[in-house]
């Protein structure tokens, strides 16, 4: 992973988020799995850009402002006049379990690779040091958009760029269409260098009986570096013909598990980009995830954390 002058590119969606607090009131924020990871990469001093599409409304402006304030390059956030970003409402059900309802069908992020400026985004993909995206990213796009993304990823790899991917499977994002989800994700995996899946997600989408089975399935796609997140217990890291379980260094009682995986992925990629080996990177990833779950919400306040 040379070429330090090149930047990391995270691709996906940033949403407007309304989250109900303990007092019953809703607070306004911005979130999104790859957007969260981009923020934590920037806080780890990794040059990073976020590629997405937003509207020209005040809420879209606020998301762009947040990205810039966090040190994320926003030149690949395409603005679609007259459109609105996705809205996510975060609440709890009667049992206290986190519940998310999203309005996203008309969100411009879904058309990133079909908007007039899509070629500029694709060109940036081919020039990036590392490209990171997720299963949630893939769920956004039509077949046309997916074809353009996959073509850009192939060109990026041909230019020496690395591709990192977290399956992050959410059935509702795919409208329950497991067949399409498997087909699209399988196509993406053919172009991945670093896989960062969560075992729980892989078990739902693919029926993997164990993290070891996830490793074997991903290796069959030719992926040479894999770190499987396995809840609060450990991560299973496979690279260079070896496979090692990396335990969580400190057990943390979570205040809020939201975005733990996003923080893990940022910690892992930042460590790898700075020269750490995969096992060392998994340790750094655990530490960052541990910081994230000590706080409410996806984006941890800078003050009082080890993330700045």
Which one of 111, 166, 201, 262 is the catalytic residue? 262
String of DSSP letters for 140-197? H--HHHHHHHHHHHHHHHHTT-EEEEE----GGGGTT-HHHHHHHHHHHHTT-SEE--
Per the annotation, the verdict on 262 as an active-site residue is yes
> Phi first, then psi: what are they for 275, rounded to 5°?
110, 0
Instruction: Name the maximum alpha-carbon separation found in the chain.
Output: 53
Please answer whether residues 197 and 212 qualify as being in contact, where contact means their C-beta atoms are separated by less than 8 angstroms.
Answer: no
Contact indicator for 103, 86 with CB cutoff of 8 Å: yes
CA torsion through residues 307, 65, 149, 33, sign: positive
Annotated catalytic sites, by residue?
262
């Amino acid at each position: 992973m040379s070429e330090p002058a090149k930047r990391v590119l995270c691709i996906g969606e940033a949403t407007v988020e309304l989250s109900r607090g303990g007092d019953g009131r809703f607070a306004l924020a911005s979130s999104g799995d790859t957007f969260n990871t981009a923020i934590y990469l920037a806080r780890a001093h990794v040059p990073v850009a976020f590629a997405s599409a937003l509207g020209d409304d005040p809420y879209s402006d606020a998301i762009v402002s947040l990205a810039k304030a966090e040190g994320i390059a926003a030149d690949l956030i395409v603005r679609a006049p007259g459109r609105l970003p996705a809205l996510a409402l975060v609440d709890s059900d009667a049992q206290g379990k986190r519940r998310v309802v999203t309005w996203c069908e008309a969100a411009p992020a879904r058309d990133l690779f079909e908007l007039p400026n899509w070629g500029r985004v694709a060109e940036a993909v081919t020039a990036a040091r590392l490209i990171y995206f997720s299963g949630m990213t893939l769920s956004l796009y039509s077949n046309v958009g997916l074809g353009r993304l996959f073509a850009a990823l192939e060109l990026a790899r041909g230019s020496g760029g690395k591709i990192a991917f977290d399956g992050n499977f959410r059935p509702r994002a795919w409208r329950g269409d497991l067949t399409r989800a498997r087909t699209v994700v399988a196509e993406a995996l053919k172009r991945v260098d670093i896989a960062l899946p969560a075992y729980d997600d892989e078990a739902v989408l693919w029926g993997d009986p164990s993290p070891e089975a996830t490793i074997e399935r991903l290796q069959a796609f030719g992926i040479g570096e894999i770190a499987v997140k396995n809840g609060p217990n450990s991560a299973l890291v496979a690279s260079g013909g070896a496979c090692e379980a990396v335990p969580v260094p400190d057990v943390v009682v979570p205040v809020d598990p939201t975005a733990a995986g996003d923080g893990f992925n940022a910690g892992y990629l930042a460590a790898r980009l700075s020269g750490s080996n995969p096992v060392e990177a998994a340790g750094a990833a655990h530490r960052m995830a541990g910081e994230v779950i000590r706080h409410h919400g996806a984006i941890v306040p800078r003050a009082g954390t080890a993330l700045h």
